Structure 1
Amino acid sequence: MRFSSLPTELIIHILALNSFRDILVCREVCRELRNIVDDSLELQYTIELRCGSYIDGSNGQLTKTSLEERYRKLVELEEGWKTLRFPIDQTKIFSGPSSIYELYGGLYVRGVRSESFLDGTGSLEVTRFPSALAPCPGQAWDHFLETSCRDLGLEPGSDLMVLINNKERNTWEISLRTLSSNRPHPDACNPSLDHTTRNLNSWMSFTISILGDQLAVMFTPFDDQDPTRAGELVVWNWKTGLTRTILHGPFKYPTSFTFISPNVLMIGEVESRQSSFENPKDRRTHLRASLVVYAIPPQDDNEPEMPVKCRKVASFHLPLFRAEVFEVQVSSRSDPAPVPQRWPSTIPSTDGELKPFYVDPLKRIIVLSLDLSLRRRSIFGSGTEHREYTIFVHSDMFTSLLGERRILSGEDFPETLLEFEWKQWQRFARWTTLQRSPGHYVCYVYGQRYVDYEHDPFTSRLHLWDFNPNVNRPSRASTKPLKPTSLDSGEKFAKPATYVGTHRDIASSRKAVAPDEVRTAVSPTNQFAFQPFVETETSVFKDKDIFVHKKVESSLPFRRTTGRASLPQLAGIMLDDERIYMMERLRDGGGIRMGVLSMEAVGDSAWQGVGWNQDD
């Protein structure tokens, strides 16, 4: 039987099982297949999903949102991100000084200091933003706390809010509350978890991550002079209250961790190495930063209440630094958590169900912030210099280099430590001199997108970085198959381009973008969008003062689009899967003015519940 003689429904089903690149290749085989692909809404939706690294939330089941509606919303959302069109611009003033905040799942929780609690937060302001995908309006409510709160974490899909309080010196209470009512969470057997750190310092920073049933908290002391500096990472099953594992430092502030999979996490660490010269007088100490991967083994069935020991399974080394570099600090940030994304349980009509489509949690960018201190000597004397770098690492690195060993799934762990030098994984990374945006707002990355900003004499500009490997994909009107990028084929690159200076004045060959790839935003708040800059070539970063080998190559492709911000003097910027959030500090009495740029138009009534004003 010939393939063309099969029923059309069966051909569509077979094609839908392939990657979007294979579907586009099949489209070029003959006119019949071309018509089938072009006329099939299911295949068009599949191409858009996989090209944009989304996952369909229906799982093949009937949902409240039709296939046609999901396809339309997905196309509009992707066009908005590509062109930086902002049809909706909302602003709101949050008055009073803020101590803590969290943004996740379309909810923004802001802690407000109280005179009753001089060392922490006394109340929480919760704002739920309207969504172009969810059938819900915006809403705002407050929670008044009985005890001071030092930090918080959110998981809207489970209606979970995690509050950290200091009970006494080095004993910490982790309260599991409902986000909707601030009551003890009904799914938690023990809604109040206690942990006593080895470090006696009561001034700690916290990194909180919620991954399904797992709750992970990293305790890091502020005091760098403490000889113990015993930072700790604790992982609980928040529903049962059992401790899964405890990993002791030393973790130097600031630091953080990132979950690669439910049982695997990554921490940036720094170690000292001696140079291998035969003459002992020529040997010098060099620092090397590494991304260390830890695996959490399954619990022992005989002793389920005993924490298991984390196993160090892999180490991804950054380039070796020169001996003049005497201090290195590594921190990481990545969202969302590598689990399916659900609507907040605070939305009655959704009850925590899966979104119609959501960002693939396994396709993420991990943003590494590297802070270096080095000694400089000249004829005028010696001194200390500080430098900052930002490294973008794609999560495909772990899937490609560790996936075949079944490490990410927790099925197998190597007996010896796997070590990867920079040259082995530089094609999954992009090294830049980009400095982190000022301010304490850290929700600057979501999925494969990263946002930052800069000031000019009259206004502020925002930059959206997109690290989707398909940055060179043609528009939907094009019939040419997509050209594989370095992440897909592992092909060798041509002569590298040399980058000198910051990301804003890169001296390299800029790839032109097709005319149908560039559109001008038409909203009043964003009168223009600059032509995107697309880079798919290998870049060479040279700095003889920093690296032993003097140059660093990196090859992760990206697209950067620049637009005008609606607030003139930005103090911070964040994003999630639908929106960009801009913060501007108020001069009188503290507080901030927040502007929200929505990627899809939402009715005016949807914003009335949060008291926002739409700018005309």
Structure 2
Amino acid sequence: MNVNLCDLPTELLTNILLKLDFLSLLRVQPVNRLIYAIIKEHKVLQYTIELGIAGMVDGPADASLTTEERLRGLEHYQKMWRHLTWSKHDVIPMEGGNIWELAGGVLAQGKPPTQIGSTDMVFNQLPSPTRRIEARSWSLHFDVHVRDFTIDPFQDLIVLISETYVQASEDWCISLHFRTMSSNHNHPLAKAPLIRCSVPDSPGSYVIAVCQTYVGLLCSMSMRNFEVDGSDMRFFIWDWCTGQVQVDQAEDIYSFAFLSNRHVLIAIPTREDPPEDTEVSAALVIVDFQKRAALSSQTCFVVSSFHLPEISEGFGIRDVLIRSDPSFSFGQQGDDSTPSAPFQLSPENRIFVITFELSNTRKRPILVVPLSTFVPHLNNVPVESSISERWRQLGVRWSDWGSQGSRMLTLHNPLSLTWVCYVYGSRFVYHTPGNGLSMVFDFNPWSVHSKPDDRSEMRVINWPTTINLDHFSERVTTHLPFTAIMIHGIDRSFTSAGMLTEDHLITVDDLTQREFHVHVF
């Protein structure tokens, strides 16, 4: 006996539909009128679809908010971003320090430091009426001189970096302090709230990032002699809850970004000990950092690598910067001080904006790669080796992934190297200082298929672009579709950069008034 699905009672058919994800709902919706009507009339099913199209996931259960209210809030939130019409504009003054962080909707600034670091910070939780997050601010005083730091508001975590010169060994001791961001107490999840490591010279700069229970630290030594001492970089990953070191690499590394709570993406030069600025190319390497190396401290488990466009003879790559926010750890709910939004960005809806600093030119082409390009390679069997040895053997050729899996752009002015929080989720903001263009680009694949209404200035770019620079041995053609929206209503004359969070477009005036202009969605 054959049973037609639509012969089932409507209640049972609805329960079946409630088990489907948004893609499956979109596929079955046009099957017949009954299924179409059920999906269109059921608020939970509509909310599931709208979350998927927006690249978001449902927030924690909240009895005070019905599904209909969440759906209405999500539709309003999406409309504001589609038109770039913010609900309010706040101004936050710069504190005058030289360290700052923007993560999880919190702007943290160090106050003017001594010669060896800041001891006081000011925190501003930025509001979001649509997602029911209230504004608040607080200050903390630290018993250490903070050289750099990062925050993870969802875990109520602040990681402080301090450094001390050890005369006996002529090394520098770097200390990582794991505190609560709300009260400056030792973080309750950290069995060892202080982790120390040694490097041979004072780091000129740090890059630090948190991903759930892991913290990554890239140290760039300022005065180290490459020819005599080897690499001037040191890269660590620890499990900050246990204090266990997972990665300790002294190889040349440009930058890194967490793909997940198991994998990290690393940009490396692809020539060892190269002549300065001559034919130095780069590659992207994926490392499984949960597997601890057994051979030596200089090996790790390489999962895959991705070749980048080949560099022409006589040219080179000076640096490669990877930016992606938020890290994989966002969305976890921390203590009572952590806002619980009704919906939030999906961990899968992220892009990696990769900036190339090339020799003999001010142009900095950028490569935008969605997380979905890397995901199919994460299940490869990892091989224990040094990063520099395995990138070629495990490499995916540029021609096999870059054309369809990325988009290369050349912008009129390079992205800021100071105000680097220009990426959030699938969006990034670009601003030309002066009276130039300000635009928000969105690489959410569903935004490309949406139909903008008459009032939207959203442009869909679904045709290939070709970059023809002498630095690349061949023309670089890429196809990844995206949308672009012009930003109106901001004073561009004093704006030097733009930054993004889930709920905010922030323009930076660091020339005249020295303040952050927070546009709230």
The offset of 1:445, in angstroms, is 0.3
Conserved in 1, the CA contact under 8 Å of 2:159 and 2:177?
yes
Q: Is 1:315 the counterpart of 2:305 in the alignment? A: yes
Change (3 A) 1:339 1:224: same
Which residue of structure 2 lines up, in the alignment, with residue 7 of structure 1? 9
Unaligned runs of 5+ in 2: 166-170, 273-277, 384-389
The offset of 1:103, in angstroms, is 0.7
Which residue of structure 2 lines up, in the alignment, with residue 432 of structure 1? 409
Q: Is 1:585 the counterpart of 2:517 in the alignment? A: no
Q: Is 1:467 the counterpart of 2:443 in the alignment? A: yes
Q: How does 1:547-562 map to 2 (within 5 A)?
A: 547-548=472-473, 550-562=474-486
Separation in 2, partners of 1:36, 1:159? 42
Q: Is 1:372 the counterpart of 2:297 in the alignment? A: no
Amino acid corresponding to residue 111 of structure 2 in structure 1: V
Change (3 A) 1:339 1:307: farther
SS of 2:102's partner is strand
Separation in 2, partners of 1:136, 1:404? 37
Q: How does 1:96-115 map to 2 (within 5 A)?
A: 97-114=96-113
Which residue of structure 2 lines up, in the alignment, with residue 156 of structure 1? 153
Conserved in 2, the CA contact under 8 Å of 1:109 and 1:127?
yes
Q: How does 1:100-499 map to 2 (within 5 A)?
A: 100-114=99-113, 117-132=114-129, 135-168=132-165, 169-197=171-199, 200-223=200-223, 225-227=225-227, 228-251=230-253, 255-272=254-271, 286-298=279-291, 309-339=299-329, 341-343=331-333, 345=335, 347=337, 352=338, 355-374=341-360, 385-400=361-376, 402-403=377-378, 405=380, 417-426=393-402, 427-434=404-411, 435-438=413-416, 440-455=418-433, 457=435, 461-475=437-451
Q: Which deviations, in whole Å up to 9, do the C-alpha atoms of 1:474-520 show, x marking residues without a partner?
A: 35xxxxxxxxxxxxxxxxxxxxxxxxxxxxxxxxxxxxxx5x2x426
The offset of 1:334, in angstroms, is 0.5
Q: Which deviations, in whole Å up to 9, do the C-alpha atoms of 1:5-35 show, x marking residues without a partner?
A: 2233332343344453442342222221221
Conserved in 2, the CA contact under 8 Å of 1:133 and 1:356?
no
Change (3 A) 1:373 1:71: same
The offset of 1:320, in angstroms, is 0.9
The offset of 1:577, in angstroms, is 0.8
Separation in 1, partners of 2:466, 2:298? 43
Separation in 2, partners of 1:462, 1:88? 19
Separation in 1, partners of 2:12, 2:245? 49
The offset of 1:258, in angstroms, is 0.9
Conserved in 1, the CA contact under 8 Å of 2:505 and 2:520?
yes
Conserved in 2, the CA contact under 8 Å of 1:272 and 1:287?
yes
Unaligned runs of 5+ in 1: 274-284, 375-384, 409-413, 476-513, 521-530, 600-616
Separation in 2, partners of 1:136, 1:37? 30
Between the aligned residues of both structures, percent identity stands at: 25
SS of 2:364's partner is strand
User: Residue 462 of structure 2 is aligned with which of 510, 533, 536?
Assistant: 536
Separation in 1, partners of 2:365, 2:378? 28
Q: Which deviations, in whole Å up to 9, do the C-alpha atoms of 1:121-167 show, x marking residues without a partner?
A: 13111111223356553211111223211100101122111000012
The offset of 1:456, in angstroms, is 5.2
The offset of 1:583, in angstroms, is 1.4
Q: Is 1:598 the counterpart of 2:520 in the alignment? A: yes
Which residue of structure 1 lines up, in the alignment, with residue 386 of structure 2? none
Change (3 A) 1:210 1:307: farther
Separation in 2, partners of 1:318, 1:109? 35
Change (3 A) 1:10 1:140: same
The offset of 1:185, in angstroms, is 1.8
Amino acid corresponding to residue 343 of structure 2 in structure 1: F
The offset of 1:64, in angstroms, is 4.4
SS of 2:359's partner is strand
Separation in 1, partners of 2:299, 2:318? 27
The offset of 1:447, in angstroms, is 0.6
Q: Is 1:50 the counterpart of 2:37 in the alignment? A: no
The offset of 1:327, in angstroms, is 4.0
Separation in 2, partners of 1:560, 1:156? 30
Separation in 1, partners of 2:143, 2:192? 18
Separation in 2, partners of 1:10, 1:186? 46
Separation in 1, partners of 2:291, 2:55? 30
User: Residue 28 of structure 1 is aligned with which of 7, 27, 30?
Assistant: 30
Conserved in 1, the CA contact under 8 Å of 2:151 and 2:159?
yes
Instruction: Say which one has the larger Rg.
Output: 1
Conserved in 2, the CA contact under 8 Å of 1:180 and 1:346?
no
Amino acid corresponding to residue 324 of structure 1 in structure 2: G
Separation in 1, partners of 2:109, 2:508? 13
Conserved in 2, the CA contact under 8 Å of 1:287 and 1:320?
no
Change (3 A) 1:407 1:133: farther
Change (3 A) 1:262 1:63: farther
Separation in 2, partners of 1:62, 1:138? 20
RMSD: 2.7
Change (3 A) 1:327 1:367: closer
Change (3 A) 1:344 1:123: same
The offset of 1:567, in angstroms, is 3.3
Which residue of structure 1 lines up, in the alignment, with residue 455 of structure 2? 519
Conserved in 1, the CA contact under 8 Å of 2:466 and 2:476?
yes
Which residue of structure 2 lines up, in the alignment, with residue 566 of structure 1? 490
Change (3 A) 1:417 1:340: farther
Separation in 2, partners of 1:92, 1:245? 38
Amino acid corresponding to residue 320 of structure 2 in structure 1: V
Q: Which deviations, in whole Å up to 9, do the C-alpha atoms of 1:330-386 show, x marking residues without a partner?
A: 110101112351356362xxxx48643221112211010101114xxxxxxxxxx44
